[in-house]
Amino acid sequence: MMQNAKLYSRILLTVLAVALLHTSLRAQTGAVTESVASVQGLRVSANHRYLVKQDGTPFFYLADTAWELFHRLNRGEIDYYLRNRANKGFTVIQATLLAEDNGISVKNAEGELPLLNFNPATPNDKYFRLVDYTVDKAADDGLYMGLLPTWGSWVDGKPHRIWEGRQVFNARNAYLYGLFLGKRYAAKPNIIWILGGDRSPVGHMKIWDAMAKGLREGDGGTHLITYHPGGGTSSSQFLSKTPWLDFNMLQVGHYRYDDDDAEAVQHNYNSLPMRPVVDGETTYEDMPLGTLPQNPRFTAYDVRKAAYWAVFAGAMGHTYGHNSVWQMYRKGDVPIDGARIEWMKALDAEGSLQMVHLRDLMESRPYLTRIPDQSLILPNAQAIGRDSDHVQITRDGTVGKNDATYTFVYLPILKIFGINTSVIPSSTLRAWWYDPRTGASFPIGVFTNHGDFSPKGDQLPQASEGGPDWVLVIDDASKGYSTPGRKLHN
């Protein structure tokens, strides 16, 4: 990576090989990333920025989008899907109980409809046995289920593109349905309730409030609740004063390249009352721009940018999606939004393999004290805008204080820039480049803290080593932190 020597090149190749082996083993072996014992209830952290497990350990919300899972997959396929996602480091699976694609009128893989007589007050027990199975299997694999009780089309009655719309909910049956779900899954610690389903709550708040009330009464308040809004909006816009909302969820959507995930997250991060925030639906890998099949498609690079921008802007995690996986597309299905890859093959798409490197990086440094801090960009980098070259910074410590022990800088494109390092009150710093494609870390060196750092020349990664995006990691050298991406130890 530095210019000099064959020896250094060999070191880099060795580090890269180890990182690739780590990724391969995690993705392909039978070893899952969480033990069953670690699947415990979740709660909001004391500083209202993140989620923690009941024992206080940080929880990184790394979700995969599987909206049609209960509607289209059988038990064997569910087993395969969950193990694949667990082995890739995902922690949450977002799936819909009353699915979007005609989910109340077309039977699931076991030949069952979710509702008797299309009435949410009379759910079909046989249908929910598959849900029971999935929740338990997810727990075995160390996964949490982000369950949408219903897609929004069954609340507002509005069809969406090719799907039917039918309003089957009112305030009374929404309460009874929520009560049914709350009681049925009260003892399952690995559940997060996600109301909404790609819809604004405006005009239907009585229904959503009633459903939330039923969930709370049914499970005794043991599970977190959030709201999945329509594209380009956030729960904070509509539900800031709603008592049942535990964390904010936004949806940036799929409608332009370099959509401003950082700005959207920052808006929610600064909203009151203070709540954790996550982007629950953003750029899907292999989704055509604007969902139109004739348009160019989002790549692994696009989904990486969205993820790092969002998390470095203060999100508690991120949601990945693939255009074929969310709908569980297979040959013979009517493709939605231009799906073209069978879902089992799409499970191993490039971007899905890379999301774990974001989680690993965040968990390799103190997490619950992390904040976004764009003030660290020195004036020579202020021209970096809000599109593909937008630099996003996160660090630990306190806003306005020089008490950091590390700084992460995400650069979608390498360019000359400067970072204020006086926020780290140590006389000695250690710097690294972290590769978001492989999880490999490359040391830049240890140097005296003069209050700023502008890497240049042989301190920059070479084009042959990857790119275009990189993370610059700057540590307080005295802390002895592990290599970025490795488990935190002090």
SS3 category, 226: strand
Strands (E), 117-161: 119-123, 144-148
Domain positions in the chain: 6-18+368-479, 32-363
Nearest 5°: phi and psi at 441?
-115, 140
178 falls in which pLDDT band (50, 70, 90)? very high
The answer to whether the beta carbons of residues 104 and 115 sit under 8 Å apart is yes
Alpha carbon distance 102, 183 (integer Å): 26
CATH number of 6-18+368-479: 2.60.40
Alpha carbon distance 141, 125 (integer Å): 24
Do 6-18+368-479 and 32-363 share a fold? no
Q: At what angle do helices 261-269 and 300-312 cross, to 10 degrees?
A: 20
Which residue would you say has higher pLDDT here, 122 or 256?
A: 122
Which residue would you say has higher pLDDT here, 67 or 17?
A: 67
Which residue would you say has higher pLDDT here, 4 or 137?
A: 137
Q: What is the DSSP letter of 259?
A: -
Give yes or no for residue 351 having a pLDDT over 70: yes
The pLDDT assigned to 477 comes to: 98
76 Cβ contact partners less than 8 Å away, ≥ 6 residues apart:
none
Q: Half-sphere exposure (CA, 13 Å, Cβ side) for 477? A: 15
364 falls in which pLDDT band (50, 70, 90)? very high
Read off the tokens for 430: 């250690």
User: How high does pLDDT run on average in the chain?
Assistant: 89
SS3 category, 438: coil
Q: State the average pLDDT over residues 321-344.
A: 95
Strand order in the sheet with 428-434: 370-372, 392-396, 406-411, 470-476, 428-434, 441-448
290 falls in which pLDDT band (50, 70, 90)? confident
56 Cβ contact partners less than 8 Å away, ≥ 6 residues apart:
none
Q: State the average pLDDT over residues 468-483.
A: 96
Alpha carbon distance 334, 349 (integer Å): 21
- The verdict on whether omega for the bond into residue 149 sits within 30 degrees of 0, i.e. cis, is no
Alpha carbon distance 372, 407 (integer Å): 10
Which residue would you say has higher pLDDT here, 385 or 67?
A: 67
Alpha carbon distance 163, 70 (integer Å): 17
Tell me which of 3.20.20.80, 1.10.1200.10, 3.40.190.10, 3.20.20.60 is the CATH number of domain 32-363: 3.20.20.80
Give yes or no for residue 489 having a pLDDT over 70: no
The pLDDT assigned to 259 comes to: 60
Q: Are strands 277-281 and 392-396 parallel, antiparallel or unpaired?
A: unpaired
Alpha carbon distance 306, 263 (integer Å): 11
Alpha carbon distance 481, 333 (integer Å): 50
The answer to whether the beta carbons of residues 283 and 327 sit under 8 Å apart is no
pTM of the entire structure? 0.91
Q: C-alpha 442: how far from its chain's center? A: 26
The pLDDT assigned to 31 comes to: 41
463 Cβ contact partners less than 8 Å away, ≥ 6 residues apart:
none
Q: State the average pLDDT over residues 145-158.
A: 95
The pLDDT assigned to 17 comes to: 40
Read off the tokens for 326: 């969310």
Q: C-alpha 213: how far from its chain's center? A: 27
Residue type, 370: R
162 falls in which pLDDT band (50, 70, 90)? low
278 closest CA partner among 306, 310, 246, 237: 310
The pLDDT assigned to 257 comes to: 65
